[in-house]
């Protein structure tokens, strides 16, 4: 008899526990780590309501997978914080520059990962990387286009490290010429020539050091000499030669 009563008690407990579980709602949804994306945009990507989510809909793996497919999300981790909080922790891709390939614009981050953007109003005043040839399927597979892209990204990253002013002076980096890299300034769109040859590869530490040294020279040029030349028309600034800054004025 006691066993029978215990069986009913256990069955009743399980039954009511399941009912409670089915009706349980996570009504506190916290989004962390987002910078440019809004909470609503992330929840829309997750395909969940902004106010609450029922426990039956709460498959963390599915939610995480849906958010990770957003083109501007690099990493995401979704967790439950009992009793009623759902936590979405995101790491956004940080756009470093705009890449123009053919007629298509993409953003690129410091790891050279290309990703599209839909919200033009969110674009910062980013440098534009041009001169990268249209990717063929073979180029995509063997990544033969990557040296041009990595070179431009390397210049952009190191310009920012040297001086935010220097980074903000970069309007465009053109890598179409195998004999030089052409950087255009925001002020007056002055072309600045950086060294390059067909044998240069940005993975080579010697070439990396050459580029970073030229960025220091350009930073010093802006800091010391550029102001005195502002009233003149500058045709170009050439940094391709050792210990020289050749400035062509008109």
Tell me the C-alpha distance between 21 and 17, whole Å.
Answer: 6
**Whole-number pLDDT of residue 52:** 67
**Whole-number pLDDT of residue 14:** 44
Task: Determine contact, residues 222/206, Cβ cutoff 8 Å.
Answer: no
**Whole-number pLDDT of residue 152:** 94
**Whole-number pLDDT of residue 5:** 46
* 86 and 163 both lie in a single domain: no
Q: Which of 58, 73, 92 is a domain's end point?
A: 92
Token digits of residue 68? 């990770």
Position 7 in a domain: no
Say whether 106 sits in a helix, a strand or coil: strand
Q: Which of 70, 92, 114 is a domain's end point?
A: 92
Domain that holds residue 123: 97-249
Position 79 in a domain: yes
**Whole-number pLDDT of residue 193:** 96
* 87 and 112 both lie in a single domain: no
**Whole-number pLDDT of residue 139:** 53
* 134 and 59 both lie in a single domain: no
A 10 A CB-CB count for 34 gives 17
Cβ-count burial of 114 within 10 angstroms (0-12 exposed, 13-18 middle, 19+ buried)? middle
**CA 81 to each of CA 10, 52, 55, 57, 85: distance values in angstroms, whole numbers, following the listed order:** 28, 14, 13, 16, 5
**Whole-number pLDDT of residue 247:** 86
Q: Which of 69, 92, 115 is a domain's end point?
A: 92
* 133 and 241 both lie in a single domain: yes
Nearest-10 crossing angle of helices 60-68, 39-46: 120
Nearest C-alpha neighbor of 82 from the set 25, 158, 17, 164: 25
Task: Determine contact, residues 114/104, Cβ cutoff 8 Å.
Answer: no
Position 11 in a domain: no
Say whether 248 sits in a helix, a strand or coil: strand
H-assigned helices in the chain: 2-23, 39-46, 60-68, 137-142, 146-162, 164-168, 205-224
* 131 and 113 both lie in a single domain: yes
CATH assignment at residue 139 = 3.40.50.11690
Cβ neighbors of 7 (< 8 A, separation 6 or more) are none
Count of the separate structural domains present in the chain: 2
Position 12 in a domain: no
* 227 and 110 both lie in a single domain: yes
Which residues is 191 bridged to in the sheet? 184
Place of tokens 């614009």: 105
**Tens digit of pLDDT at every position of the chain (250 positions):** 555 545 544 544 444 344 434 445 777 888 998 888 888 889 888 888 766 676 656 688 888 999 999 888 989 999 888 888 888 899 988 888 998 876 778 889 988 888 887 666 666 688 999 988 765 545 555 455 588 899 999 999 999 999 888 999 999 999 999 899 999 998 888 999 999 988 888 999 999 999 999 999 999 888 887 777 777 788 899 999 987 888 888 7
**Whole-number pLDDT of residue 249:** 83
């Amino acid at each position: 008899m006691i066993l029978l009563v215990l069986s009913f008690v256990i069955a009743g407990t399980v039954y009511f526990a399941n009912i409670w579980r089915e009706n349980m709602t996570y009504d506190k949804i916290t989004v962390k780590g987002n910078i440019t994306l809004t909470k609503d945009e992330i929840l829309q990507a997750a395909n969940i309501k902004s106010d609450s989510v029922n426990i039956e809909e709460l498959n963390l793996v599915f939610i995480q997978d849906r958010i990770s497919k957003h083109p501007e999300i690099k990493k995401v981790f979704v967790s439950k914080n009992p009793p009623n909080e759902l936590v979405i922790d995101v790491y956004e891709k940080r756009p470093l520059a705009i890449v123009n390939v053919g007629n298509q614009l993409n953003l690129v981050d410091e790891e050279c990962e290309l990703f599209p953007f839909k919200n033009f109003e969110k674009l910062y005043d980013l440098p534009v990387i041009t001169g990268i040839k249209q990717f063929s399927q073979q180029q995509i597979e063997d990544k033969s286009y990557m040296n041009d892209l990595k070179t431009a990204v390397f210049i952009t990253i190191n310009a920012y490290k040297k001086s935010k002013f220097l980074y903000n002076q970069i309007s465009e980096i053109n890598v179409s010429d195998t004999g030089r890299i052409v950087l255009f300034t925001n002020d007056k769109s002055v072309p600045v020539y950086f060294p390059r040859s067909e044998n240069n590869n940005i993975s080579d530490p010697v070439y990396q050091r050459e580029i970073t040294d030229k960025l220091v020279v350009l930073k010093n040029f802006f800091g010391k000499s550029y102001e005195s030349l502002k009233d003149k028309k500058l045709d170009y600034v050439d940094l391709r030669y050792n210990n020289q800054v050749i400035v062509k004025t008109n």
